[in-house]
C-alpha cells in the first residue's frame, strides 16, 4: 500500500475521532461563559497544551524546521527569541492574567482590558475588538487557505476543495462547543506534535549513523558539508549585518508578551492559582523540547537530502518522517501535524466570534440577551463568521493579500497589545485614554511600515512594540486620567 493511501486512511480516522471528541466536549457547554472562556475552569495541563498547540502548530512543524534546513545554525536566534518570549509569558504573565480575568469576570481578551480601564471601557471594546476581529477575520481565511494547500500538497486534492474539507473538520465542533471544544481538541494536537518532535529527531540521528547512502551521517558533518553559511550563527554576516541577524531573530520575543489574544485567553481560562503553576511548568517544558526537536529535524533534513535536495523547504518535516519511518508510523505523525496546522483556524475563529459577539454586537443591541438565547446567538455569529472567512479565502485564491495581512497580526496585534497588557499589569498609572491612543498608534504604524515596504529593511516586530511603548508612556503622562 502506498504511503499516500495509508496517510489518507489514518487521517480520515484521526479527523473523525477529533470531530467526535470536540462535539463531546461541546455537550458540557451550558452558558455563554462556557462557550467564550470554558467557564474559567480549565485544568492547568489542558490550558498549557492548548496554548502551545495554538501558538506553535504550523510554525513548529513546518516553519522552523524549514528555516533551519535553509539557513543552518542561524535560525537559533529565532528559536531563542521565541523560547524566551514563551518562558517569560508563562512565568510572569500567565498567572497574573488568570487572576485578573477572575477578578473582573472577563469573558474575552478585550473585555478584560475594558473592565480594567473602565473610564473608557466602551471605546476600548469598540476599537480593540474591531481591530482584533478585522485582522483575525483574514487570519481565519488564511488558515482555510493553508489547509487547502496542505491537502493539495499531500494528496493532490484541488486546493478549493481542500478548503471545504478544512472547514468541514473544524467548523462543526467550534460552532457547537466554542472555546471548550477548541481547547480539548488542541490538547490532542499538542500531544501528537510533541511526539513527532521528540521521536523524529531521535530516530533520525540513529538512521543517519547507520546509513551511508545519505548526504552526511551526522548533523555537524551535514552543516560543514553544506557550506560556511550553515555553520555560522550569523549567516556569515559581520558588523551591522550581524546585528540585524540577531535582532531580527530575537524580535519574535515581543509578540509573546501577552499581545496575542488567542494565547492570552488560555491564561485567562485557567481554573485556579495551583493549576496555573502546573500549566507554567508544562508549557515551558513543552516549548524547550519542541524547539530543540524542530531545529534538529531541519538539520537532519540537510543530512538526508543535502542543502538543495527539497523543492519546498517547509515540507522538510514530512519528508524526513517519510524517509526514516515505515509508512504507517509516518502517516500517524504527519496526520497529527497536518491536523494541528488545520485546526489553528478553530482558535482564531472562536476568538474572533466571541470578540465580535460579546464586545460589538450584543452591546449595540437594544435588549439584553441572556441564558440559552445568548449561547445560540454566539453560535450563530461563529457560523456566520466561518462562512464569510471561507468565502473570502475562495475569492482571494492565491492568498497574497491574506498572507500580507497575516504578517500584520504578529507585529500590529502582538506588538501593540503586548504593550497594553504589560503596562496594564505592571504600571498603575497607565489609564484608559492612553490604552486607546496606544492601540490606534501601534496598528497605524504597523500598517504604514509594512505597506510602504520598510519591513525589508527592519522588522516591525520590534519597531511596533517600541513605538507603542513610547506612545503609551507619553500619553499616560500628558493626558490626565478621568
Distance CA 443, CA 445 (A): 5
431 pLDDT exceeds 80? Answer: yes
249 pLDDT exceeds 80? Answer: no
Distance CA 174, CA 379 (A): 9
The pLDDT tens digits for 216-244 are 999 999 999 998 889 887 665 555 566 67
Grade residue 343 by pLDDT with cuts at 50, 70 and 90: low
Q: What pLDDT does 87 receive?
A: 96
The pLDDT tens digits for 254-265 are 889 999 999 999
**Minimum mean pLDDT range among 150-154, 383-387, 397-401:** 397-401
Q: Where are the domains of the chain?
A: 3-397
Q: What pLDDT does 3 receive?
A: 67
Q: 90: which residues sit within 8 A by CB, 6+ positions away?
A: 48, 279, 280, 283, 284
Q: Which residue has the higher pLDDT, 3 or 296?
A: 296
Asked if 263 and 414 touch (Cβ cutoff 8 Å), the reply is no
Grade residue 245 by pLDDT with cuts at 50, 70 and 90: low
Q: 322: which residues sit within 8 A by CB, 6+ positions away?
A: 3, 330, 334
179 pLDDT exceeds 90? Answer: yes
371 pLDDT exceeds 80? Answer: no
182 pLDDT exceeds 60? Answer: yes
- State what percent of residues in the chain have pLDDT above 70: 91
Q: What pLDDT does 393 receive?
A: 79
Grade residue 177 by pLDDT with cuts at 50, 70 and 90: very high
Q: What pLDDT does 186 receive?
A: 92
Superfamily for the 3-397 domain? Sodium/glucose cotransporter (1.20.1730.10)
How many C-beta atoms lie closer than 10 Å to residue 141's C-beta? 29
**Minimum mean pLDDT range among 153-157, 370-374, 415-419:** 370-374
C-alpha grid cell for residue 127? 476599537
Length of the chain counted residue by residue: 482
Q: Which of 481, 446, 447 is nearest to 466 (CA)?
A: 446
Grade residue 115 by pLDDT with cuts at 50, 70 and 90: very high
Grade residue 162 by pLDDT with cuts at 50, 70 and 90: confident
Distance CA 388, CA 401 (A): 16
Phi, psi (deg, nearest 5) at residue 214: -125, 170
Q: 159-168, 207-216, 447-456 — which one is most confidently predicted on average? A: 207-216
Q: What pLDDT does 399 receive?
A: 56
Beta-bridged to residue 429, according to DSSP, are none
Global pTM reads 0.91
C-alpha grid cell for residue 202? 531521535
C-alpha grid cell for residue 144? 482555510
C-alpha grid cell for residue 218? 551526522
Asked if 150 and 377 touch (Cβ cutoff 8 Å), the reply is no
Q: Which of 90, 101, 98 is nearest to 48 (CA)?
A: 90
Q: What is the mean pLDDT of the chain?
A: 87
Q: What pLDDT does 304 receive?
A: 95
Q: Which of 311, 317, 320 is nearest to 340 (CA)?
A: 317
- State what percent of residues in the chain have pLDDT above 90: 51
Q: 367: which residues sit within 8 A by CB, 6+ positions away?
A: none
247 pLDDT exceeds 80? Answer: no
Helices 416-426 and 94-103, packing angle to 10 deg: 70
| Residue 312: DSSP 8-state | S
Amino acid at each position: 500500500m502506498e504511503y499516500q493511501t495509508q496517510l489518507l486512511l489514518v487521517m480520515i480516522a484521526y479527523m473523525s475521532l477529533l470531530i467526535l471528541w470536540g462535539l463531546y466536549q461541546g455537550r458540557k457547554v451550558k452558558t455563554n461563559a462556557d462557550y467564550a472562556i470554558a467557564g474559567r475552569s480549565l485544568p492547568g495541563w489542558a490550558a498549557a497544551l492548548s496554548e502551545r498547540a495554538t501558538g506553535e502548530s504550523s510554525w513548529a512543524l513546518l516553519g522552523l524546521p524549514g528555516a533551519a534546513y535553509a539557513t543552518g545554525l542561524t535560525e537559533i536566534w529565532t528559536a531563542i527569541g521565541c523560547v524566551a518570549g514563551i518562558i517569560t509569558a508563562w512565568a510572569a504573565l500567565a498567572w497574573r492574567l488568570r487572576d485578573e480575568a477572575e477578578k473582573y469576570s472577563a469573558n474575552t481578551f478585550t473585555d478584560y482590558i475594558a473592565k480594567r480601564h473602565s473610564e473608557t471601557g466602551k471605546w476600548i471594546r469598540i476599537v480593540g475588538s474591531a481591530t482584533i476581529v478585522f485582522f483575525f477575520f483574514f487570519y481565519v481565511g488564511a488558515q482555510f487557505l493553508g489547509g487547502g494547500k496542505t491537502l493539495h500538497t499531500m494528496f493532490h486534492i484541488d486546493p478549493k476543495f481542500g478548503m471545504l474539507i478544512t472547514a468541514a473538520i473544524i467548523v462543526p465542533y467550534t460552532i457547537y462547543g466554542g472555546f471548550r471544544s477548541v481547547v480539548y481538541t488542541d490538547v490532542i494536537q499538542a500531544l501528537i506534535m510533541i511526539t513527532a518532535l521528540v521521536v523524529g529527531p531521535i530516530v533520525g540521528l540513529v538512521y543517519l549513523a547507520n546509513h551511508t547512502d545519505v548526504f552526511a551521517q551526522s548533523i555537524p558533518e551535514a552543516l560543514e558539508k553544506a557550506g560556511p553559511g550553515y555553520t555560522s550563527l550569523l549567516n556569515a554576516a559581520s558588523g551591522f549585518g550581524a546585528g540585524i541577524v540577531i535582532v531580527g531573530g530575537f524580535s519574535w520575543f515581543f509578540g509573546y508578551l501577552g499581545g496575542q489574544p488567542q494565547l492570552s485567553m488560555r491564561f485567562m481560562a485557567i481554573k485556579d492559582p495551583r493549576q496555573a503553576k502546573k500549566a507554567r511548568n508544562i508549557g515551558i517544558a513543552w516549548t524547550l523540547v519542541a524547539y530543540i526537536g524542530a531545529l534538529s529535524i531541519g538539520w537532519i533534513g540537510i543530512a538526508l537530502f543535502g542543502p538543495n535536495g527539497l523543492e519546498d523547504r517547509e515540507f522538510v518535516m514530512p519528508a524526513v518522517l517519510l524517509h526514516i519511518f515505515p509508512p504507517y508510523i509516518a502517516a500517524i505523525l504527519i496526520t497529527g501535524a497536518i491536523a494541528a496546522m488545520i485546526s489553528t483556524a478553530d482558535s482564531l475563529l472562536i476568538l474572533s466570534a466571541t470578540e465580535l459577539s460579546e464586545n460589538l454586537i450584543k452591546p449595540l443591541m437594544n435588549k439584553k440577551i441572556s441564558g440559552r438565547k445568548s449561547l445560540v446567538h454566539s453560535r450563530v455569529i461563529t457560523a456566520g463568521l466561518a462562512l464569510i472567512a471561507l468565502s473570502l479565502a475562495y475569492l482571494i485564491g492565491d492568498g497574497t493579500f491574506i498572507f500580507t495581512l497575516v504578517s500584520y497580526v504578529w507585529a500590529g496585534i502582538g506588538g501593540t497589545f503586548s504593550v497594553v497588557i504589560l503596562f496594564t499589569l505592571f504600571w498603575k498609572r497607565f489609564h484608559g485614554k492612553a490604552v486607546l491612543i496606544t492601540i490606534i498608534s501601534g496598528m497605524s504604524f504597523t500598517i504604514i511600515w509594512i505597506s510602504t515596504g520598510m519591513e525589508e529593511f527592519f522588522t516591525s516586530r520590534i519597531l511596533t512594540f517600541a513605538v507603542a511603548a513610547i506612545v503609551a508612556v507619553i500619553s499616560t503622562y500628558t493626558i490626565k486620567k478621568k
